[in-house]
């Protein structure tokens, strides 16, 4: 019985496999170029397990950032995870012994696989969600470790590989744009960030941008909620 | 300046602890009952805005005033958007966009 749940979870996780291995390799190479070897890559993949944060983390390590900067940057970059968790409150409520790991491993990609709430018929939904989460992290760990090894072995310059993070965000921005009818939240994010970048400069704009975005979305709430209602 | 091993380990620990805390916090706060409407609204709209912010964050150090005027970034970004609209396959868009960027910075 457990075998078939595992098979179903494996098939569900397949779309994430390629992406995680490739992005993990990109991260491993980047981290290697910053001077940190395979053990650092493994530790970050196991303990942080957040793609974009690990990419940003490379620059924190390379620049020897302060712990406070690291903490605040992590809050800014990963604040969206609060909202993934909020939307999984109901589904994960009775997951029992699987629950702590499922919450720990709730990345963007795992969320996108599990947020529709579908689970295979006859399978224990908690075991199924646990296994999808676990398989995804396995791909990520394999990718990160592979990248570290490749980074040391590749005979050609990998300059420019860091654009994979930019490309990841642009692709996901475009995908969300295509999937939603109301583009005000996306534009608010771009606009507020640009304004803060000009006002505060490249090193200090993230926190003001986050505040301004939250403020703008709070002010726009009556309009956005009404429009959503009218569109349905 | 690269961080020392001790400081690097502390940085990784902080990044890990804060990430874990963010993922667990809603489960600790809303143990029972319904999620407040305002929080649910933010959960709905914030992801799109934050991704927009992260795009700007990645491009924050690009100089449009000096050669090559941000052209490698701009062209690669357009390629990612174009491919995503056309193929709707994030992996293809990311890989091609990165390859184009790596090529462009060697040409310009």
pLDDT tens sequence across A150-199:
988 887 777 887 787 788 789 888 988 998 889 999 999 999 999 999 99
Q: Which of B24, B30, B55 sits opposite A173 (nearest CB)?
A: B55
- pLDDT > 60? residue A1: no
Q: Please tell me if residue B52 touches chain A, with a CB cutoff of 8 Å.
A: yes
Burial of A194 (0-12, 13-18, 19+ CB in 10 A): middle
pTM for the model stands at 0.73
Mutate to test the interface with A, among B1, B2, B10, B11 (most CBs of A within 10 A): B11
ipTM above 0.95, yes or no: no
Q: Which residues contact A173 (CB under 8 A, 6 or more apart)?
A: A186, B48, B51, B52, B55
pLDDT computed for residue B78 by the predictor: 97
Would you list the domain boundaries of chain A? Answer: 2-153, 180-231
Instruction: Tally the C-alpha atoms within 13 A of residue A50's C-alpha that lie toward its C-beta.
Output: 28
pLDDT computed for residue A172 by the predictor: 82
A19-74 pLDDT, tens digit per residue, is 788 889 989 999 999 999 999 999 999 999 998 899 989 989 998 989 998 998 89
pLDDT computed for residue A134 by the predictor: 97
User: Between chains, do A89 and B26 touch, taking CB under 8 Å as contact?
Assistant: yes
User: Between chains, do A185 and B46 touch, taking CB under 8 Å as contact?
Assistant: yes
């Amino acid at each position: 019985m457990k075998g078939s749940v595992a098979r179903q979870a494996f098939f569900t996780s397949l779309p994430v496999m390629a992406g995680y291995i490739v992005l993990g390799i990109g991260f491993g190479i980047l981290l290697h170029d910053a001077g940190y070897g395979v053990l650092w890559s493994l530790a970050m993949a196991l303990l942080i397990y957040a793609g974009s944060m690990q990419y940003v983390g490379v620059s924190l390590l390379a620049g020897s950032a302060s712990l406070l900067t690291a903490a605040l940057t992590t809050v800014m970059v990963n604040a969206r995870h609060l909202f993934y968790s909020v939307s999984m409150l109901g589904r994960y409520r009775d997951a029992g012994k699987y629950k702590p790991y499922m919450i720990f491993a709730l990345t963007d990609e795992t969320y996108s696989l599990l947020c529709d709430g579908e689970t295979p018929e006859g399978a224990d939904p908690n075991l199924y969600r646990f296994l999808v989460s676990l398989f995804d992290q396995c791909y990520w760990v394999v990718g990160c470790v592979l990248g570290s090894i490749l980074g040391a072995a590749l005979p050609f310059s990998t300059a420019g590989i860091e654009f994979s993070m930019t490309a990841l965000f642009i692709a996901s921005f475009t995908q969300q744009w295509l999937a939603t009818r109301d583009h005000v939240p996306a534009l608010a994010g771009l606009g507020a960030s640009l304004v803060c970048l000009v006002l505060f400069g490249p090193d200090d704009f993230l926190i003001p941008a986050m505040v301004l975005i939250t403020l703008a979305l709070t002010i726009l709430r009556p309009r956005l909620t009404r429009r959503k209602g009218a569109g349905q | 300046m690269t961080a020392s091993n001790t400081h690097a380990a502390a940085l990784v620990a902080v990044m890990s602890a804060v990430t874990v805390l963010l993922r667990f916090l809603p489960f600790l706060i809303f143990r029972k009952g319904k999620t407040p409407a305002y929080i649910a609204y933010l959960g709905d709209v914030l992801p799109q805005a934050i991704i927009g912010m992260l795009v700007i964050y990645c491009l924050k150090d690009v100089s449009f005033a000096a050669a090559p005027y941000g052209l490698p970034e701009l062209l690669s970004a357009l390629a990612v958007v174009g491919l995503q609209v056309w193929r709707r396959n994030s992996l293809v868009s990311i890989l091609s966009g990165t390859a184009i960027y790596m090529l462009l910075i060697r040409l310009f």
